[in-house]
Structure 1
Amino acid sequence: MALHVRPYCTELEDTVKNLSHKAWILFKYNKDYSHQRMSCVFNEDGILICVGYLRHGIADDHDVFEIEMPTNELALNRMNDVRMALYPIFINTCEKFRNLNKKTKLVAWKDFYGDRGFCEEKGFLPYQTYYKAQRSLEEPIPEVRTPVGVNVNFHPMESKEERIKYTELENQFYQGVVYRSVNMLEWMMGGPELHTISAFEGDELVGSVMCWQTGAVDRLFVIPRWRNKGLGKFLITKGFEYHIKNGRNEVETLVNEQDKEAMMLLASLGYSFPVKLELMALDV
């Protein structure tokens, strides 16, 4: 018997919340998803086993739609059926919301949730490679001096104008699947913990890093004229200090394999790179 797919609606809110709190809260509170459709996959007994939706990202010359497919234990033995049910819906969503003046890529992590063969059969090709970088906070933290000419502090971004400026600058350094909109930033700020540490030269934002409860020290960026002055290292060590203060003993981040400068910086601060993640992409 075939699986049954229904679009998300308010009547399914509690059911979706029980399967994936992240999906539920995205569609309830993040304005980026107000125009999209989440597809709810039910088994033959009418039990929700998966929800599928796309996260929209932007790069210079193309748009990216990233597959998200949270599941429960009832989906584990029939993931191919789940993929087959959701794949045409993902394609149709890309076609509906794509920018006709740009190329569009449908991208998937984890070999489309466990089946590289399915990816390859549909024409997905390697797109980007990332490493999960990790560091123990039980190891000594290097002493890094504050670069002369900047002030580094917690950055609450209390006004809409501050959040817009921050997002515009951040996205000059992070594009594609890691692109962030103002809506996404505000959604994250409404969560249990998001601590942004930013560097300012006068009133100008010149660098930043973010921390949250998972132990992440992430989204590091430094504008070009402030590079090679120790600012990136200083921001990361401030992130270490934040997590130590909050009782954590390990930090992590995701780094693009092509960003050799970032890889070298993290390695110099004691990170290792134990997990390699390949992102596959299909031109739509």
Structure 2
Amino acid sequence: MRDFVIRNPKDEDAEQIESMDFVLKMLYLYHGDLDKRNMFCAVSGDGEVLAVAHLMEHDTFHAVGHDEDTSFKRYLNYEIIFAENAEDEGIKAALIEALIGRAREIKAGYQEKRIIMAQYLDTDHLEELSFCLARGFTIYDTIVVFKFDLSREIPEYPLPEGVLVKPTALNNSEAQEQYRQAELASFDGVAWSLNHLGWMQGSPEIVNFCAFYGDQLIGNTSTWRITDERSATENVFVIPEWQKNGVARNIICTALDYLKKQGKPIATLGTHGDNKKAIRLYTQIGYELCGSRFTVGYEID
């Protein structure tokens, strides 16, 4: 195993971080939610950055309305990225220990909250799953992933009278706050932070299809590029008073139609495995199961 030290990143590491992952560099430089104390580099004796790990507050971390629920899970998501030909189990273990140590420092400021450090792993990543489970991690959730073959005919669903669906640029604070309030209402107090919402507007090929009743934003589906072969249809929500009126079906199909016209072959989305309502909606529209992921986490004491 190579000699290395674990430390927080320095500005002079940015170029090496970019060579590993451009998005990671942009995250380090510009994401308003990233506390630099939550990022760690494994650095060799000659200054080479071998790997980078970081924690990010998940949507659940500052969820509204759950302060009295001591069982509510608030996630700190983590990611570890290695430089080319540098992957090493000893380095990975050291970075995880650094992340757990930092998560404990964060937990000290939120003693009343249940905090879990987690990542998402495809269910067939058995080696990585075994690595985590052997270190005290466990499986907290299963996410089912669905795909829609865009060569198929896309169904059409009518909208309630007075409702309009249109592409919406969330490029100012007023639009972003309106979006966030609708998301909070739809997801039981769980929503992207304003920093993350603004950050996501820079994602490749992102389009937000928002439903409005007058000036009120009542629902959304967002699309963005995942790979050349796949685009997302995610962040599907409708505020409670407008649910069961066909709004979600129309927004999703509007997004699918847009992606089809852009020449995209596949659209995907994910939902929690116990979300019967969402699974029924997606399968009725024509999405098909294409895989699943685990939320693998370590509870911070």
Fold conserved between structures, TM > 0.5? yes
Q: CA deviation at 1:44?
A: 6.2
> Is 2:85 the counterpart of 1:74?
yes
Change (3 A) 1:279 1:175: farther
> Residue 42 of structure 1 aligns to which amino acid in structure 2?
V
1:170 corresponds to = 183
Matches within 5 A, 1:36-185: 36-43=37-44, 46-57=47-58, 58=61, 59=63, 60=66, 61-76=72-87, 78=88, 80-98=89-107, 99-110=110-121, 114-174=127-187, 179-185=191-197
> Is 2:185 the counterpart of 1:196?
no
Deviates more, 1:58-67 or 1:236-245: 58-67
> Residue 106 of structure 2 aligns to which amino acid in structure 1?
F
Q: CA deviation at 1:46?
A: 4.7
Change (3 A) 1:72 1:135: farther
Residue by residue, what CA displacement relative to the aligned partner does 1:60-80 show, whole Å, maximum 9, x if unpaired?
33421111112244134x2x2
Q: CA deviation at 1:277?
A: 0.6
Q: State how far apart, in whole Å, the 2-side matches of 1:168 and 1:70 are.
A: 33
Q: State how far apart, in whole Å, the 2-side matches of 1:204 and 1:13 are.
A: 42
Change (3 A) 1:218 1:35: same
Change (3 A) 1:159 1:115: closer
Q: Per the alignment, in what secondary structure is the counterpart of residue 85 of structure 2?
A: helix
Change (3 A) 1:73 1:159: closer
Q: State how far apart, in whole Å, the 2-side matches of 1:39 and 1:175 are.
A: 33
Change (3 A) 1:44 1:172: farther
Q: State how far apart, in whole Å, the 2-side matches of 1:39 and 1:129 are.
A: 28
Q: Per the alignment, in what secondary structure is the counterpart of residue 84 of structure 1?
A: helix
Q: CA deviation at 1:173?
A: 4.1
Answer whether contact 2:142 2:295 (CA < 8 A) is retained: yes
Q: Per the alignment, in what secondary structure is the counterpart of residue 82 of structure 2?
A: coil
Residue of structure 1 aligned with 2:270, choices 248, 251, 254: 254
Residue by residue, what CA displacement relative to the aligned partner does 1:230-257 show, whole Å, maximum 9, x if unpaired?
1111000110122122221111112111
Report % sequence identity. 25
Q: State how far apart, in whole Å, the 2-side matches of 1:36 and 1:210 are.
A: 31
Q: State how far apart, in whole Å, the 2-side matches of 1:17 and 1:128 are.
A: 32
Q: CA deviation at 1:179?
A: 4.6
Q: CA deviation at 1:22?
A: 1.6
> Residue 15 of structure 1 aligns to which amino acid in structure 2?
Q
> Residue 21 of structure 2 aligns to which amino acid in structure 1?
S
Answer whether contact 2:38 2:56 (CA < 8 A) is retained: no
How many residue pairs get aligned? The number is 281
Q: CA deviation at 1:52?
A: 0.3
Q: State how far apart, in whole Å, the 2-side matches of 1:45 and 1:115 are.
A: 29
Deviates more, 1:212-221 or 1:141-150: 141-150
Answer whether contact 1:3 1:85 (CA < 8 A) is retained: no
2:221 corresponds to = 209
Residue by residue, what CA displacement relative to the aligned partner does 1:14-60 show, whole Å, maximum 9, x if unpaired?
10011011211111111111454321123566533321001112243
Residue by residue, what CA displacement relative to the aligned partner does 1:245-275 show, whole Å, maximum 9, x if unpaired?
2221111112111111111111111111121
Q: So what's the TM-score if we normalise by structure 1? A: 0.90
Residue by residue, what CA displacement relative to the aligned partner does 1:195-250 show, whole Å, maximum 9, x if unpaired?
11111122221111101123111100011222221111100011012212222111
Residue of structure 1 aligned with 2:250, choices 225, 230, 234: 234
Q: So what's the TM-score if we normalise by structure 2? A: 0.85
Q: State how far apart, in whole Å, the 1-side matches of 2:290 and 2:171 are.
A: 37
Structure 1: unaligned runs, 5 residues or longer: none
2:69 corresponds to = none
Q: State how far apart, in whole Å, the 1-side matches of 2:86 and 2:16 are.
A: 15
Deviates more, 1:61-70 or 1:113-122: 113-122
Answer whether contact 1:50 1:71 (CA < 8 A) is retained: yes
